[in-house]
Structure 1
Amino acid sequence: MIRLDEKRSLPWQALAWALPIVRERAATVIGVVFLSCIGSAAALLPPYLTQRLVDEGIVGGKVDLVLQLCVAFLALMLAGVVVETVSRLAYLKLSAHVLFGLREEVYRHLQTLAPTYYARTRGGEILSRLDGDVAEVQRFAIDAPMALLNGAFSLVVAMALMLSLSPMLTAVVFALVPLQVAALMFTRPWLERSTQDLRRQSAAMSSFFVESLRAMKFIQATNAAKRQEAGLRAHHGDYFAALRRSQLASLGAGGMQRILSGFGVLLVFAVGGSMAAEGGMSVGVVVAFIAYTTRAAGPLQTLAGVFMGWQRAKVSLKRIQELAAERPTVTSPSHPVALAEPMRGELRLDAVRFGYGDQIVLDGASLEVAAGSKIALVGASGAGKSTLIDLLQRHYDPVAGRLLFDGVQLDLLDLVELRRRVVVVDQDPVLMPGSIRDNLRFVAPDADEAALQRALMLAGLAKYAHGDGLAKPVGASASALSRGERLRIALARAILQDPAVLILDETTSGLDLPVAQEIIAAVDRVFAGRTRIVITHNLASVGQLDRIVELRGGSLVEHVPVRAAAPLLRAV
């Protein structure tokens, strides 16, 4: 679960959110910081050696010192390359670990949210937060502390070396620091607004691609390709405008810092050069100071970069905070009740009331479903049949009334156990990318080959149960399979799950009657003695029934089945 405290300041929130993951790599963090400081120290030595090279070696006429200092320069360069390589690889491992950990935490939270969240939120918006925003927070959480430590270390070392050369020139250089801070504060609102707008436009374009690719067949069939291209061009225009504003903000902030840093170099030239011309300072000191002024600007630029990263991270953290504010509608109880074995599959709805906002779908619905019975649930489109199924799998809890499984209230059961015992096969089953074997093992990861083959044969897919059939790719969006084959694979998955209650949600809708009857006959053979609920608009396809129940006006109303056996359940 994502834990973000709205009362805590956003930068510290980013650090606090990443801290548990960073702790797992504490040794790597220490190593990266240590190597970074060594690299910075090594980078600050050349100007100091340059001063000795000019004043003592070249001007002083000491050839041996010149050669020694050249060797020292070479050693520093080689050591710098080695240190930088090791540091970069360690940092890469650390940042990837933190990024993946944060993203997994957000994804874990997304898996707890109700279907209504995904119904009202565009897919591209979720992707944008899961990818771009999490990465931005990770960059700030890792880069900012390290940049601050490294920048502070470099600044202290540079200042110490500069003071040892010339306290007066040091004061000239650092007199510009207040101006640099003021420039950062001036550009802050601009950076924040432009980043927010860019994130918004990026999410809109991601949503366009997700929704368009999903509907490509419809776009082709309705000759809407040109209109979609025009829509993409409009998104590109909006994104480019936002990108340009963001770049201008970054360039403006960075440009002001570079101008002030350049002005510092000019001051060193003017003051130090004048003193050297008058004999009050050696040429080597001036040369070294010019180099140090440039290097001192590096840590200051780093600190400015941290400030700009803070603005970007703040926007991203707010967007993740909005996602984190979405609370799961249901959770497993801390001490779930264990169901008695063997499970019977008896269901009961007791005066259940549920709705979406002001729209009431179920209003005092009551029903008793005897263990092992088969009922048909009918009703007009939009009457709430799928909502009833969502309640039975506990994607939602009713606002009033109770739902019971084998006499135990659903909210007292472990969610994983409940959803393993109540399985739904709907009219458009979801197949994951990969092979038929991958899709069967998605619900039963420990099933052996024999169990997979048996499930396919029982579901009427014997042609895929032998040879290379299990390795057949299902294709993008399961396009390599017919609808009947997709339904049978979903049925095979249900067989592997071994539920006490099987729900067929318009499973055979749109199929030819003989094919629909064949699938239902397979269900009745395999799940004989299990509780079966068949949601349908075509009673001719569902075979022998124990009861027909209609959902109408928020209530469940009993009907006499066409080929009824002795009534096994009672609707109230």
Structure 2
Amino acid sequence: MASTESADDDGSAPLAGPRAASAAQRAGGRRLLRAAARRARYPMALLAVLTAIRVAAMLATPAMLARAVDAVREDGNVGGAMAGLAVALAVAASADTAKDVVGSYCGSGITAWLRHRLIGRILELGVPGLHRFPAGDALSRLTESAGGPAAFPALLLSVVAALGTGLGAVTALALIDWTLAAAFAVGVPPAILVIRLFVVRASEPFARYQRLQAAIATRLLDARQGARTIRSAGTAAREARRILRPLPELRQAGHLTWTVQGQVSWRLSLLAPAIQILVVAVAGTRLATGAISTGELVAAVSYTSMALGVVALFDTFVTLLNCEVGAGRIQELLGADPAVRPPPCPMRLPDGPGELRLREVTVRVGDRTVLDRLDLTVPAGTCVAVVGVSGTGKSVLVSTIGRLLDPAGGSVELDGVPVTDVALPALRRAVAYAFERPALLGATVHDTIAYARPDATREQVRRAARAASADDFVRALPAGYDTPLDRAPLSGGELQRLGLARAALTDARVLVLDDATSSLDTATEMKVTRALRRLLAHRTSLVVARRPATAARADLVAWLDAGRIRALAPHADLWPDPAYQAVFAVDGDGDLGAGSPDSGAATRPDTVEPRTRA
């Protein structure tokens, strides 16, 4: 489990300067929303036209109503007035319906665009991104946060429409009688002040609420990944408490948000009728003096209600603020630096035998220097075992070869070309990896083996599976190679053999096995290794080795110690050194006898759940 040991390593702790952080996040959210609006400019233009038509029809409705009232009182053209009123209402309803349809289309397009960008950036961030944005946090941004901005275009135009309608209504009041517009204007400054107060006070609680939701999701996913460990340890109750520990803070943030919203809401709920009463009182006085007609009084009441729709925008402002906060969380992830950047001017990787050279490579993880000016040359076509006690950086070292991460200093060269100067697709074709816990990607067993080569034929896939000693157990599955992955229960060793088959299928000049045979028993490992070496003859390979027998089968052993290569020599030459033997006593299975060529020690492979995460 990633976070079982630490309860506060997932962002649930209070942040320094929450108001400043919230302001910065909202600024990023506004930039992203502007970019989304530019991308959806054509649907938004159509929305704007429909909104303008609806506003015009709504503003015409009270005037048509006043005409109809006066026509009835004065025995005028009632039919014509009623027809005009019906047309205005029909146009408003039609524009409103069309606006909803176009708004939904526009919103879904923005959501798809944001989620595509988020998924791409999450994958670009690589392993370092998993530490900065844990799974639960990234998932909440991908789902809840990315779904919020979908409503932004419609909400924004609703605000514009309401403001336009309000301005038009106030103008209509002024045309009826200037005193009516003046009476309405008295209540505008207090309404603006109240809404501004809400935006200032509610921004940080909104942002904190979303962060705490992500923290709970992260803890829950961590616990799901380690469900068997929790159950076997009998710590389910303690784990539930750990998952739910941010709840009091979540409740506090939610309570503060609702408190601020309630304070603003009751002020506005009192202000709106007060303004309406004031305008109606002035209108009644003007009617009594003969300054306006009865129809104009009815129109004034309608226009006042219409203008007060601006006050009712409070709920829309709440939703817009949520959109802004969610967009800020998305922008925070999109703005994160990827683990590996493509070269600005890629160099062509020449055809070569696969010679590797690491020059003064330095890698830091946090404040710790894992590799310290490391030098290593791997001759072309050589199998090199990388050994060292746990924590010395074996996986970090091999990760620099295919640019799964970049060193802070030094260079890694493949056939004389720095890997940082090679286009990433070309480098991925040149360097293939097999991991300790390979991810099951694709729909079927065939798909997961052919993941890096989707155009591979069934025969090519089977040949790779045979090389990894996987063909027999795959054909024994219910549908063989076409068995869906969720219906293929696999042991740890079988899973690793699928990963090895996937790596064997690639036409790579360098093969990296990052502890990729740890779940194989010794006999199977020897069989797989012999098959792979036949298949990958004349190709360079690096094997992260934890067993002496694995190191013994390599041409050379790179002994990693204190961030540097302590020795590069055959296993047989290093074995007499007690310090070298101690590496396996500490980091391997403790069976020093396994280092001899005749060793037949075997261990039973562990079993894992059907779908194993990388």
State the TM-score bracket (shorter-chain normalisation): 0.7 to 0.9
| Secondary structure of the structure 1 residue equivalent to 2:343 | coil
Residue aligning to 2:424: 415
Instruction: Please tell me whether the aligned partners of residues 379 and 385 of structure 1 are also in contact (alpha carbons under 8 angstroms).
Output: yes
Deviations 1:324-375 (A, max 9, x none): 553234322222221222x311111233333324422222322221111112
1:106 alignment partner in structure 2: 118
Distance 1:497 1:253, change over 3 A: farther
| Paired position in structure 1 for 2:408 | 399
Q: What residue identity is the alignment partner of 1:323?
A: L
* Residue 173 (1) aligns with residue 184 (2): yes
Compared CA separation, residues 210 and 418, structure 1 to 2 (3 A): same
Once residues 233 and 329 of structure 1 are traced to their aligned partners in structure 2, the CA distance between those partners, rounded to angstroms, is: 32
Q: Is the 8 A contact 1:11 1:310 kept in 2?
A: no
Cα offsets for 1:53-96 (capped at 9, x unmatched) = 32321x3345x61x554444444444433322222111111122
Once the 2 structures are TM-superposed, how far is the Cα of residue 535 of structure 1 from its aligned partner? Answer: 1.2
* CA distance in structure 2 between the aligned counterparts of 1:20 and 1:528, rounded to whole angstroms: 52
- Which position in structure 2 is the counterpart of 1:560? 570
Letter aligned with residue 260 of structure 1: L
Deviates more, 1:18-27 or 1:164-173: 18-27
Aligned residue among 66, 81, 96 for 1:84 = 96
Q: Which moved more, 1:116-125 or 1:530-539?
A: 116-125
**Pair 1:94-2:106 in alignment:** yes
Contact conserved, 1:194 with 1:249, CA < 8 A, in 2?
no
> Are 1:208 and 2:219 an aligned pair?
yes
Distance 2:412 2:280 in 1: 83
Name the counterpart of 2:600. none
Letter of the aligned partner of 1:505 in structure 2? D
User: Aligned runs of 1:260-409 on 2, under 5 Å?
Assistant: 260-276=271-287, 280-302=291-313, 308=318, 311-312=321-322, 315-316=325-326, 318-341=328-351, 343-409=352-418
Could you report, residue by residue, the CA deviation over 1:160-203 in whole angstroms, capped at 9, with x for unpaired residues?
Answer: 33233232212211221111112123333221132122122211
What is the Cα deviation at residue 424 of structure 1?
1.5
**Where does residue 511 of structure 2 map in the other structure?**
502
Q: Which moved more, 1:531-540 or 1:394-403?
A: 394-403
Task: Give the aligned partner of residue 258 of structure 1.
Answer: 269
Find the aligned partners of 1:328 and 1:116 in 2 and give their Cα distance: 9
For 1:184 and 1:491, locate their aligned partners in 2 and report how far apart those are by CA, in whole Å.
Answer: 61
Aligned-residue RMSD, C-alpha: 3.1
Amino acid at match of 2:571: P
Alpha-carbon displacement from aligned partner over 1:447-503 (angstroms, at most 9, x marks no partner): 34443344334333335469932332222xx97322222212212221232211111
Shift of 1:117: 3.1
Q: Which moved more, 1:216-225 or 1:98-107?
A: 98-107
Change over 3 Å in CA distance of 1:351–1:263 after alignment to 2 = same
Distance 2:190 2:373 in 1: 70
Contact 1:37 1:154 in 2 (8 A): no
Any conservation in 1 of the 2:436–2:516 contact (CA below 8 Å)? yes
Partner amino acid, structure 2, of 1:515:
T
| Percentage of pairs with the same residue | 25
Give 1:406 shift. Answer: 0.8
| Structure 1 residue 237, shift from structure 2 partner | 4.6
Look up the SS of the partner of 1:159 in the other structure: helix
**Aligned-pair distance for 1:114?**
4.4
Report what 1:119 is aligned to: 131
Distance between the aligned counterparts of 1:364 and 1:225, measured in 2? 45
1:521 to 497, 521, 530: 530
For 2:366 and 2:241, the matched residues in 1 are separated by 36
SS at match of 2:568: strand
Q: Could you say which residue in structure 1 is the equivalent of 2:45?
A: 30
Distance 1:23 1:315 in 2: 19
- Candidates 206, 220, 231, aligned match of 1:220: 231
Cα distance in 2, alignment partners of residues 282 and 400 from structure 1: 84
Describe the SS at the equivalent of 1:113.
Answer: helix
Cα contact 1:51–1:287 (8 A) shared by 2 = yes
> Of the candidates 468, 491, 496, which is equivalent to residue 487 of structure 1?
496
Does the 8 Å CA contact 1:436/1:473 hold for their aligned counterparts? Answer: yes
Give the whole-Å Cα distance in 2 for the aligned partners of 1:122 and 1:243.
23
Contact conserved, 2:26 with 2:328, CA < 8 A, in 1?
no
Aligned equivalent of 2:464: 455
What is the DSSP-based 3-state SS (H/G/I as helix, E as strand, rest coil) of the residue aligned with 1:328?
coil
> Structure 1 485/78 Cα, relative in aligned 2: closer, same or farther at 3 Å?
farther
Note closer, same or farther for the CA distance 1:124–1:443 as it changes in structure 2 (3 Å cut).
same
Change in 2 beyond 3 A, CA 1:51/1:426: same
Matches within 5 A, 1:38-57: 38-57=53-72
CA distance in 2: counterparts of 1:317 and 1:281, whole angstroms: 50
What is the one-letter code of the residue matched to 2:407?
Answer: P
> Is the 8 Å Cα contact of residues 28 and 331 (structure 2) preserved in structure 1?
no
2:106 aligned partner, one-letter code? L
Q: Which residue of 1 aligns with 2:587?
A: none
TM-score under structure 1 normalisation?
Answer: 0.86
| Inter-partner Cα distance in structure 2 for 1:233 and 1:395 | 34
Greater mean alpha carbon deviation, residues 12-21 or residues 537-546? 12-21
1:128 aligned partner: 140
- Decide whether the 8 Å contact of 1:545 with 1:563 is kept in 2: no
Report the Cα distance in structure 2 between the residues aligned to 1:23 and 1:326, rounded to whole angstroms: 22
Contact 1:268 1:286 in 2 (8 A): no
- Go from structure 1 to structure 2 and tell me whether the alpha carbon gap of 1:40 and 1:469 turns closer, same or farther (over 3 Å shift): farther
Displacement of 1:38 in angstroms is 0.9
Displacement of 1:259 in angstroms is 2.5
1-side partners of 2:249 and 2:380: how far apart?
Answer: 58
Gaps of 5+ in 2: 1-20, 575-614
Aligned residues: 550
Unpaired segments ≥5 residues, structure 1: 1-5, 565-572
Quote the offset at 1:321 in angstroms.
5.0
Instruction: Map Cα deviations across residues 408-432 of structure 1 (whole Å, 9 max, x no partner).
Output: 1222222222222111211111123
SS in 2 for 1:111: helix
User: Secondary structure in 1 aligned to 2:451?
Assistant: helix
Q: Bigger CA drift: 212-221 or 442-451?
A: 442-451
2:592 corresponding residue in structure 1: none
CA 297–400 in structure 1, closer or farther in 2 if over 3 Å, else same: same
Query: Measured at CA, do residues 193 and 17 of structure 1 come closer, stay the same or move farther in structure 2, by a change above 3 Å?
Result: closer
Deviation at 1:242, TM superposition (A): 2.5
Q: CA offsets per residue over residues 498-545 of structure 1, 9 Å max, x none?
A: 211111111121432222223223322321221121111113246632
* Residues 233-278 of structure 1: CA deviation (Å, up to 9, x unaligned): 5544543442232233233334433322221111123222344456
**Paired residue for 1:243, among 254, 260, 270?**
254
Cα distance, 1:298–1:311 mapped onto 2, change above 3 Å: same
Which AA in structure 2 matches 1:332?
P
